[in-house]
A and B are shown apart, each in its own frame.
Chain A
Amino acid sequence: MKTVSLTIDGKKIRAREGEKVLWAALDNGIYIPNLCALHDALEPFAACRLCFVEVEGKKQPVTACTEAVEQGMVVNTRGPGALRLARTAFELLVASLPVDCAHCPSSGSCELQKIAAHLSIKLKTKRFRKLLRELPIDYSSPLFIYDPNKCVLCGRCVWICRERLGIGTLGFAHRGFDRLVTTFGSEPISESKCLDCGECVVACPTGALAFKDRQGIKSGLGKGG
């Protein structure tokens, strides 16, 4: 395996040739906010727009999940340009989520809390209008609850269910602001082809997919990044 050496936040690291900056950083204990990245996916989804970093020699910040490492590359995950974009993207997400950590089963394991802390911003936005969609919550599965209002459309559940497990219960529907993750024909999960394996719940970085039994979360295998 060929490797290259690069510097991230002043730290010299080695990474496999062709690896994306995001994974090189995470593998070396350097956190970069991310929601939609999946290491095994064939192509980066690049939808959440949180993983911006600055690369020496590039005028604009780039998404770390799409940027391949290069020999001698110098990456700064905390450059002002990158942070500004990550913060705006995060605030936009938060502005359209019903933030209620106190009553959310995923509080503590939620990636959004982690990212907010990392970017040192609150889970409340003053800058933007609150835009909620008020979609019905699906309680029909015996194992988990699906609350589309808390979904950030990262696509992890869709990928796991379709690409890794080959089941394809969940998919995207509609466009623009109305885009959402749902079952075929928007039928309740219990009437879909869901096998109740719970892999999507484990993959979900937010409280959108949450086990009914709170213990389920605790035993869930590490929630992402």
Chain B
Amino acid sequence: MKTTGLQSVVSTFREIKSRAESQWQELCNSGKPVVMVGAATCGRAAGALGVIRAIKDEVKKHKLDCPVVEVGCMGHCYAEPIVIISKPGYPPICYGHVNKVIAERLIREFILGDDPCLEFVLGALEANELVPSLSDFPRARFEKKIILKNCGHIDPEQIEHYLANGGYTALVKALQMPPEVIINEVGRSGLRGRGGAGFPTGQKWEICRNAPGRPKYVICNGDEGDPGAFMDRAILESDPHSVIEGMIIAGYAIGARYGYIYVRAEYPLAVHRVRIALRQARKLNLLGKNILGSDFSFDIRLFQGSGAFVCGEETALIASLEGEPGIPHHRPPYPATDGLYGKPTLINNVKTLAYIRHIIDNGAEWFASTGTEESKGTAVFALAGKIVNTGLVEVPMGTTLRQVIFDVGSGMQNGKRFKAVQIGGPSGGCLPESALDLPIDFDSLTDAGAMMGSGGMIVLDEDDCMVEIARYFLEFTQRESCGQCTFCRLGTKQMLEVLDEITKGQGRIEDIDMLSRLAEDIKAGSLCGLGKTAPNPVLSTLRHFRDEYEAHIKEGRCPALMCRDLIAYYIIPEKCERSCDACVGSCTTEAISANKKRIKVIDQEKCVKCGTCLSACPPQYNAVVRLSPPSEVPASK
């Protein structure tokens, strides 16, 4: 780029940035208290909008001069709705599980009065004498936030917040670098694609830059169809500019003029915020024709996907962008050489793109200093299942599963025993306790029979049946299969049928071999990644929990007492309290009656195994139990 153009880029940006910084300063250091509310989808689901309304009403009622700002997801989803109050004289304090009543109290007692309501505090955002800070939490020792850093701390609908926090400096820096140098930097950083497969990002950029054909395109893959995964949604909702900045840099590096952000239509808030972000970026000429006065032009369109899981597969995604049915195609050719409208197309995941600005800003070495030999940087997981702290976490690659689950996630709910962790969503697998000390990276997980996938992490305890878990995920992929190729359409259906039979106690012992052979063939023979990974949940549970399969088949027993057809409810006579009849009324099918001694008995013929009696029985008696196989129920006298 010509030097004169570059000088104007730098000076134009300096002006934009300083305006943004003064706005941010006015918000943070004006002497006014500021209230921030986590209003990403997770926060909203927990009632954040009601909390915002309550806060605004209370602020108005007391005629307070106190800005109320909607921010994104901080990752502490278990404690939503979350409110952060910064009041001069106090550290910024984060409150969890806030409802309308607490919200009103916070305004009245803390903003109006001077009582920081310590009983609702989650932690402070900086070290201080008054309240323990979040960074003193055990999890902070293991977390390292790169792409989640802004999330929950800025208003995603205000580009100034992003700019004031270092936003778009990487773009300005990149515009002063030759494209090859940028690609080299990304390559040396060791960044691998976060869409699941972990393909080296720099290499993909280089292939795309060198591919003949014009125009070239950049696509951001925000389809995120895995059940339980919401990392990409959180980033698009909480820090959309970080993804946009990554895309513009990618466009400049590969020589593209247009980009598309593909977001599923089921993510209306992400769609809304991305749209606002694009508009704001365009207004400041960070996007569009002659960006910041340079001779580089790049614009981005938002595309709302239909939401099918398979549309996240890159060739299907491209077909769907072209207005064709979202069905995968044989690769090669790969999109990097032959993508959208047959042109070279760079397709990267939301997270992959969000890392780019940090790599350009801080350098390849900085990025590569975190992580393992083959997987650099951090990994973002959505923790879910039977774990205390559900939510989003970002940890260095190489952190062990044990650290993520027990230190960051604070361990198991209700003191239950850890059984397995399901990683990588429907294409991933289940790992047992013996794998807990595995340092997490792309290759270690694949070797263990799971997959990084998109980063869903579901923690399972002793009450989870591994056959049922495998069946659940297979049911998902089976339903989401596009159905064009034989292995995936019919093979996964066969596997599902067999798993159904096993969970009903109708399996045959030779089914286990059949399942694993068929699974291997589906992996080797399917056309696209969906079929190639669909058997993973079954293969990994067969590998680590074969005994559970055998118990179902040989003994008609579900060790986790989960499979409905293999259990019976039973009231232990010795524990049943004569004067209590809580269960009798709770039963919807009137299957429970009292015998002569006023001990309650379940009529197994009438029982539909809904489990209401188990919850109804008061904890001091705990007389209702599940037994498996059902023949364990003693014959009634």
Contacts and interface: CB of A to CB of B under 8 A. Distances in A.
5 contacts: A46-B330, A92-B486, A127-B514, A175-B483, A179-B483
A119 B483 CA distance: 24
A180 to B, nearest CB: 9
Contact of A176 (B325, B479, B526): B479
Contacts of A131: 490, 493-494, 497
Given A88-B518, A175-B479, A175-B481, 8 more contacts: A45-B484, A47-B484, A60-B524, A85-B525, A92-B490, A175-B480, A177-B478, A178-B483
A2 interface: no
B484 A89 contact: no
Contact of B490 (A45, A95, A155): A95
A153 B487 contact: no
Given A46-B330, A66-B330, A176 B482 contact: yes
Contact of B308 (A44, A60, A175): A175
7 closest pairs, A vs B, by CB?
A: A179-B483, A92-B490, A88-B521, A46-B330, A176-B481, A85-B525, A47-B484
Contacts of A139: none
A40 interface: no
Contacts of A66: 330
Contacts of A127: 514
Size category, A interface: 35 or more
A95 B489 CA distance: 12
Contacts of A63: 330
A148 interface: no
Interface of A: 43-50, 52, 60-61, 63, 66, 81, 84-85, 88-89, 92-93, 95-96, 127-129, 131, 152-153, 155, 172, 174-179
A47 B481 contact: no
Interface in B262-291: none
A178 B514 CA distance: 24
A175 B482 contact: yes
B330 A61 contact: no
A129 B498 contact: yes
B439 to A, nearest CB: 27
- Which of B497, B498, B524 is the most central at the interface, judged by chain A CB atoms within 10 Å of its CB? B524
B479 A46 contact: no
B56 interface: no
B494 A129 contact: yes
B16 interface: no
B485 A177 contact: no
Interface string B144-158: 000000000000000
B490 A85 contact: no
A84 B521 CA distance: 8
What's the dominant secondary structure at chain B's contact region?
helix
B246 interface: no
B480 A89 contact: no
Nearest to A89: B486
A85 B521 contact: yes
B377 interface: no
A187 B31 CA distance: 71
B438 interface: no
B527 interface: yes
A47 B494 contact: no
A85 B493 contact: no
A30 to B, nearest CB: 21
A167 B213 CA distance: 32
B506 to A, nearest CB: 11
Given A43-B330, A46-B330, A176 B489 contact: yes
A88 B517 CA distance: 10
Contact of B486 (A49, A60, A128, A129): A49
B497 A176 contact: no
Contacts of B478: 176-177
Nearest to A88: B521
Contacts of B330: 43-44, 46, 63, 66
A48 B483 CA distance: 11
B100 interface: no
Contact of B525 (A43, A89, A93, A179): A89
- Which of A44, A85, A172, A176 is the most central at the interface, judged by chain B CB atoms within 10 Å of its CB? A176
Nearest to A92: B490
B44 interface: no
A108 B321 CA distance: 43
Given A66-B330, A127-B514, A61 B524 contact: yes
A46 B485 contact: yes
A175 B306 CA distance: 14
Contacts of B188: none
B629 interface: no
B525 A177 contact: no
Contacts of B517: 88
Contacts of A46: 330, 485, 527
